[in-house]
Amino acid sequence: MASLPLAFNFSCDVEFPDGSSGEVRQTDTLRDDRHGIAFLVLVRPHAQKAFTGALHLSGSSLSHLDESPGDTRAEKSARVTDALRAWVKEHGLSPDFTLDVRVGDGRPCRVSLSPQ
């Protein structure tokens, strides 16, 4: 498992399908019983009420992300935030969402998101 997975930060600015913008801010983490972690986030769409959700990474996805190319945690985290931005632009987000984040082994490291 990744040595310091809690050092990942998936906060980022996003664009929604309607063209409006907002921000996603990581607020907390919760470990599950299978070595995974849910990264809790607050979503603040501009001109709309804020809501919460989670990005869930399994233990193997955390390991793959930790081993992915990049010298810093910020560079490694960017792989997930890039995928999150693309997801939000295409699909949007709704209150209390949970997205499974799958990080594949390989060079370059592949990241995919899907609703849980």
Polymer length in residues for the chain? 116
Nearest C-alpha neighbor of 100 from the set 45, 44, 59, 52: 59
CA angle in degrees (0–180, nearest 5) for 13-16-19: 105
Report whether 94 contacts 43 (CB < 8 A): no
- pTM attached to this predicted model: 0.87
> For 74-80, what is the mean pLDDT?
89
6-32 pLDDT tens trace: 578 999 999 999 999 999 999 999 998
Coil, helix or strand for 59? Answer: helix
> For 56-60, what is the mean pLDDT?
92
